[in-house]
Every structure is written in C-alpha cells, then in structure tokens.
Amino acid sequence: MNSKKISEKLGLEEDEYLELVELFIETSKSDLKNLQSAINNKNIEMISGIAHSLKGAAINLGLDDYLELAKSIEKTTRDGKLEETAKTAEIFQEKLDNSGSF
Amino acid sequence: MKKILVVDNHPVMLKFMSNLLEKKGHQVLTALDGLSALDILKTNIPDVIFADLVMPNISGEKLCRIVRSKPELKEVFLVILSALAVEDETNLLDYDADAFIAKGPFDKMGDHIFTILEQLDTVRPHEMPKEILGRKNLYGRQITKELLASKNHFEATLNNISEGILELTAEFKIIYANPAAVSIIGIPEETLLSKDFTKLFIEKHQNKIKGLLNFQKETQRMVTHDASFEINNNQVMLNIIPIKNDVHKSILIILKNITSQKQIEAQLQHAQRMEAIGTLAAGVAHEINNPISGIIGYAEILKDLNQEQPAEKDIINRIIKEADRIAEIVKNLLSFARNRHEEKNPANIKDILSSTLGLIEKRLIKDGIQLSVDVPDSLPDIKVRSHEIQQVFLNILNNAHYGLKQKPLELSGEKFLNIKCEIKEVEGRNFIRTTIYDSGTGIPKNILNKICDPFFSTKPPGKGTGLGLSISHGIVNNHKGKLLFEALEGKYTKFMVDLPIDAVQS
C-alpha cells in the first residue's frame, strides 16, 4: 500500500493523511478491545455497532484491507458465526499491531 | 467564516472535518455523541451542523429533532453525514435535515461538503434539492439493512408498551425515552432528552432518587408500590437496571404508572373508614337521643311549673332550644349512618336537579357565576327518595358556590359551575352519573380524604356544621350509589354522584 498515492487520490497532504491513519489505528485498537469483549459476551448489537464504525472510517481513508475485514466481521456476525467473527477480529488485531510504521 | 459543529463518534472523522474546514477559515466545534453536542449547543449557536446518525448517547436522528424544536436553533443548517444514507434512503428523507451526505472516501465527501457550504452562501436552505449527495459508486449494504430491520422491530416494541422506558448516562442525563415515558412524565421528548432525570422529581425526593441510582451501581433495584414516587401528578413505580459493558455505563429505568391503582385503593380505604365512622356515629347518636328526650321532657315540666315567673321561664325556654339543637345534630348524624326505611319512588334526575337549582340559582347569578347545565331528556327514571337526593345536590352546590365566592378575584379568572348528567357503566351496572364541576378554590390534597368525615369543615365557625358532605355520603350510599370527588387546590373541584338505574326494577 502506498500512502502517498492514496493521499493524492483523497486530495490530502501526505502528512495529514498519515496523521489521520495513525488516529484510525489508535482508535481501532481500543475499538478492537471492546469488540473482543463484545464477542465474548455475544453482544451482537455492540459487535455490529463497532464494525459499522470501523467500516465507515476505513471507507473514508481508502483503507481497503481494513474495510474488507470490517465487512467480514459484520457478515459473520449476522450469520451467527461468531467463531469466524472472532478469527477475523484476530486478523484485524494482528494487522493493527504490525502497522506501527504503516 | 462560519461556525460549524461536527458530531460523529469516530475521531478520524472529527479530525478530518476539523482539518478540512479550518483550512477554509471556518471555526469548528466537535462532539463525539448527541449528548455532548447538546451541551455545546447550550452555549453556542453554529451556522452549520454536520451530524452522524449512528451514535451512542442520543442518536443523530434525535439530535435533529431536538435542534429543530428549539427556536434559537431555527436558522441552523443541518447536514446529516452518514453511512446509513446508503441503506435507508426513504427514512432518511423523513428527517428534518437540510442536506444529506453519504459517507465515502474523503475526497468525494470533501467535495460534497464544499458544494453544500458554497450553496449555503447563494441559495436559501429550503430551496436546496432534497437528495443524498455521494450515493453514487457506493455499494448497497444488505447487512446493515437487516440490522436496521431488527432495530425497527425493537423500536416498535418500545413504542407500544405501556411501561415507560428511559435510558440515563452515568451522570443521570436522559438519553432515551419511549412514548409511554414521555406521556407519564408529561414533557415533550425534545425537551426531555439531555435533562437530568433526578430533576423530574420534587426537590425533597431528588436526593432519595440520586441515592437509588447510585447505590452500588451494580444490582437491579425496585421502587415498589408502597414507596412510589410522584412525577407530573402520577404515582410511579421504578425499576432501576444498571447496564455495564466495557464501552459505556448506563442506567435503564422502567416506569410503571400506578396512579389509578392507587386511587382505587384510596377509595376503598375511604369507604372502610366511612363505614367505621358510621357505626360509631349511629352508636353515639342513639346514646345521646335518650338523655336529650329526658332533658327536653323535664324542661317542659319545669316550664309548666313556672308559668308565672317570666325570668325562669325564659331560661327554661333557652334550655329547650339548645336541647332541640342537639337533637337536630343527632338526627343529621343518624341520617349519615343509617339506612332509612322510607319508600323510594321513581323520579327523574332532571326534575330533582331543576328543583334544587331553583333554590340556589339566583344566588349563583348574583355572584357572577356562569352556570351550565347539560342534562339529556332521555335519562330513565330511577328509584330514589327525591328529597334526600335533592339534599345531596344542594350540599354539593352550596359548597361549590362557597368555593367560587372564596376564590380571590385575581386568581379566579372565569367563575363557572357545570352540571352534567350521563349514563355510565361501572363494574357491569348502569348508573346515572351527575357531575358537578366548579372552578373554585379546590381542595388541598392533605384534607381530601377527610372531607366526608362528620364535623370536618373548612368553613369558619358558624358557617358550616361539617355534616353536609357526610350526610350526602350516607344518603348516596343508602341508595347503593357512589359519591366520588376529585380536586386540585386553587383550580377546581369535581363531585360525581352515581345513582344506580337498576334500582327501578329491584
């Protein structure tokens, strides 16, 4: 993924874009924690709410990988496959952890 | 330069919007949910609000409605900025917003935002087309659509149950109220949301409510029937359920209106009291009657013996007069307590009312009281002792007249007295209900359950005996009817005399 390219596409300065992505990652880390416990408690409404919020921000920033993961979380939850939701959430988490320098 | 408020629960969105708009020289305020937005709106009037729809603590939809209901925010240009714009278009256009932007990649969104802000300088808000900007190129998302369906399902349930449901933040601010709660509390939803829940109660109860909400914060708590609280003249039971998850704490309140239940209980208690007092009164009256007859008898003998001494004769006459007064009081007391065995005859309420009004009408007119009488001709005859019923009506009308006269001029507004008769079914029996309503001084709450007690009177000494209503109560009871009343101090008094129709057959 090329941040310069995406930021150009979105009409933003590269450093401004990076700042937003950093904010996205920070926010998502705490969202993921909540998502984890929501999955443990089978709180469907909360899972959907968090996935919806993640999805919105991923679309905004053109982060297609995250977008696909968020969509998958929404879909598996709806289908009642919470185990898959948990797996996807883990992938999401790993991706966030490795994103340190983007 | 414009003052712009952005409300969205995602920090990325807030940051992006701040950067974007500040670069163009606008002043930007941000809020993470509807509740904090309302806080900001208390001291700021922005030119434009961009609001997300799906947010914790008061959703965007509610926020829109509240903004639209406040006169000072009338001129604010309201833009909904939501990913839901893609899925729920029809509902979306029902919102009272001025423009809609679907969330998408920032470049597209940025364009739409500027388009709207530019239009704002040239076009009048209500002339803008109602369309959703940015829907193109965004895929429809079935998933959220179905989520919406289940949300609508819950909403339908909440909108139609009779219990009031409220959700509060940990600081007791109301962030949700269903229609039942709105009607129990009697404050429109727009004003209710973001209000402090404890402030709905009278001051001396507020600390108690706070204690209940605070108590441990973990377990569910009930305020039951016996300890009910008052909101908006309604007696309510509370069920307080703390809700805690990792993201937010809130408190769910279930309100149950038990006003009418309480009223029925009060009536029952009152009836039992009346019965007890009646038994006592009958006993006392009977015991007094005998010695009084003795006193009068002996006084008559003394009078005969003192025919030639005017001074003594005068004293004896006074004894007889006073003793007669006692006898009269006792007689009245007995009519409260005892069912007289005099024959009941078919009579028409209309006739009884008009002969009663004949006695008092002139006085009412003289005091500037507007009298309205609504008695249908079609009412059936009922079996009653007419002179007794007339006494009941006269008592009530006299009290109404007194209350209307007592009311201070500056408070009285229009003085009116309405009389209405109708057929009413109560517990499977048909009654003729005569309602006598006056806009007089009303009755203070704390004496409401005493007004039928014998010798209880609010009138100054010499003006009333305190027996009028207790006698009336006894008479109506002896006719197997009911004497009901309600009153609001300083506003009105309403008496209802229910007399059974089936008494004609029996």
**Is residue B106 less than 8 Å (CB to CB) from chain A?**
yes
Other C-beta atoms within 10 Å of B243: how many?
11
With beta carbons less than 8 A apart as the criterion, state whether B468 and B489 touch: no
CB contact under 8 A, B103 and A59: yes
- Say if residue A13 is exposed, middle or buried (CB neighbours under 10 Å; 0-12, 13-18, 19+): exposed
pLDDT per residue as tens digits for the range B170-213: 888 898 899 999 999 999 888 888 889 999 988 888 888 888 88
Report chain B residues whose CB lies below 8 A from the CB of A39.
Answer: none
Report chain A residues whose CB lies below 8 A from the CB of B147.
Answer: 48, 52, 78
Q: How far is CA B357 from CA A45, B127, B292, B301, B340, in A?
A: 67, 63, 36, 44, 25
Residue ranges of domains in chain B, CATH in brackets: 3-133 (3.40.50.2300), 161-257 (3.30.450.20), 261-337 (1.10.287), 345-504 (3.30.565.10)
Give the C-alpha separation, B242 to B505, whole Å. Answer: 59
Instruction: Fill in the amino acid letter for B108.
Output: K
ipTM: 0.83
Domain ranges of chain A: 13-96
**Is residue A96 less than 8 Å (CB to CB) from chain B?**
no
Give the C-alpha separation, B317 to A26, whole Å. Answer: 104
0.80 exceeded by the pTM? no
The two beta strands, B382-384 and B345-347, are antiparallel
Other C-beta atoms within 10 Å of B137: how many?
9
* Mutation target vs A (from B6, B9, B10; most A CBs, 10 A cutoff): B10
Largest distance between two CA atoms of chain A: 41
Report chain A residues whose CB lies below 8 A from the CB of B24.
Answer: none
Q: What is the pLDDT of residue B130?
A: 55
Minimal CA separation from A58 to chain B, in Å: 8
- Could you tell me where the beta strands, DSSP code E, fall in B366-456? 370-374, 382-384, 416-426, 429-438
With beta carbons less than 8 A apart as the criterion, state whether B360 and B397 touch: yes
Does residue A89 surpass a pLDDT of 60? yes
Query: 3-state SS of B299-338?
Result: HHHHHHHCCCCHHHHHHHHHHHHHHHHHHHHHHHHHHHHC
pLDDT per residue as tens digits for the range B149-175: 666 778 888 888 989 999 988 888 898
Nearest to B86 by CA among B68, B57, B109: B109
B484 φ, ψ (degrees, to nearest 5): -115, 155
Q: How far is CA A72 from CA A55, A87, B10, B367, in A?
A: 10, 10, 20, 80
Taking each helix axis as running N to C, give the angle between helix A14-40 and helix A64-78, from 0 to 180 degrees, rounded to the nearest 10. Answer: 20
CB contact under 8 A, B106 and A61: yes
* Mutation target vs B (from A19, A59, A72, A75; most B CBs, 10 A cutoff): A59
Of B83, B107, B110, nearest to A56 by CB-CB distance is: B83
Give the C-alpha separation, B204 to B219, whole Å. Answer: 25
For residue B94, what are the β-bridge partners? none
CB contact under 8 A, A11 and B104: no
Please tell me whether residue B133 adopts helix, strand or coil conformation: strand
* Residue A42 region by backbone torsions, left for phi larger than 0, else alpha for psi between -120 and 50, else beta: left
Of B19, B103, B143, nearest to A56 by CB-CB distance is: B103
Report chain A residues whose CB lies below 8 A from the CB of B246.
Answer: 33-34, 37-38
Percentage with pLDDT > 70 across chain A: 96
With beta carbons less than 8 A apart as the criterion, state whether B288 and B330 touch: yes
pLDDT per residue as tens digits for the range A44-85: 888 888 888 888 888 888 888 888 899 889 888 888 888 888
CATH topology classification for A13-96: Four Helix Bundle (Hemerythrin (Met), subunit A) (1.20.120)
**Is residue B10 less than 8 Å (CB to CB) from chain A?**
yes
Helix (H) or strand (E) holding B286: helix B259-305
* Mutation target vs A (from B246, B248, B249, B250; most A CBs, 10 A cutoff): B246
Report chain A residues whose CB lies below 8 A from the CB of B144.
Answer: 48, 52, 74
Q: What is the pLDDT of residue B147?
A: 53
Weakly modelled stretches of chain B, pLDDT under 50: 85, 89-90, 135-144, 503-506
* Mutation target vs B (from A8, A24, A53, A72; most B CBs, 10 A cutoff): A53
Nearest to B221 by CA among B242, B197, B198: B242
Report chain A residues whose CB lies below 8 A from the CB of B104.
Answer: 59-60
